[in-house]
Amino acid sequence: MKFTITMKDPDGVYESIEDVVSEIVVGGLDSDELSDVRERRRVKIHELCRTWFEYGEYLRVEVDTEAKTCTVLPVGRKP
């Protein structure tokens, strides 16, 4: 049997990306340059996450009880 679960976390994706981006340390850059690097990284990560997170907060997974798997569904894929 397969079924889909939709999870909603309005802050989780944003906060997680902010956390990882804030950890970026690049030696030799001044604060403006580092800020630019962090913003570019933030945008890249958000774009990648749009593959799986709809509106930045909804995540859908498909549970297959026979295969004993749980798969993240790409945005737009219907069960």
**Confidence (pLDDT) at 27:** 81
Query: Per-residue pLDDT tens for 25-66?
Result: 778 888 899 999 999 999 999 999 999 999 999 999 999 999
Domain coverage including residue 28: 2-72
Q: Would 29 be classed as within a structural domain?
A: yes
Q: Would 36 be classed as within a structural domain?
A: yes
**Confidence (pLDDT) at 11:** 94
Counting the structural domains of the chain, the total is 1
Q: Would 79 be classed as within a structural domain?
A: no
DSSP codes joined into one string, 26-52: -TT--HHHHHHHHHHHHHHHHHHHTTT
The token duo for 64 is 């297959």
Q: Would 60 be classed as within a structural domain?
A: yes
- 77: pLDDT confidence band, cut at 50, 70 and 90? low
**Confidence (pLDDT) at 79:** 56
Supply the DSSP symbol for 78.
-
In this prediction the pTM is: 0.80
Q: Is 53 exposed, middle or buried (0-12, 13-18, 19+ CB in 10 A)?
A: buried
**Confidence (pLDDT) at 23:** 87
Closest to 74 (Cα-Cα) out of 25, 2, 4 = 4
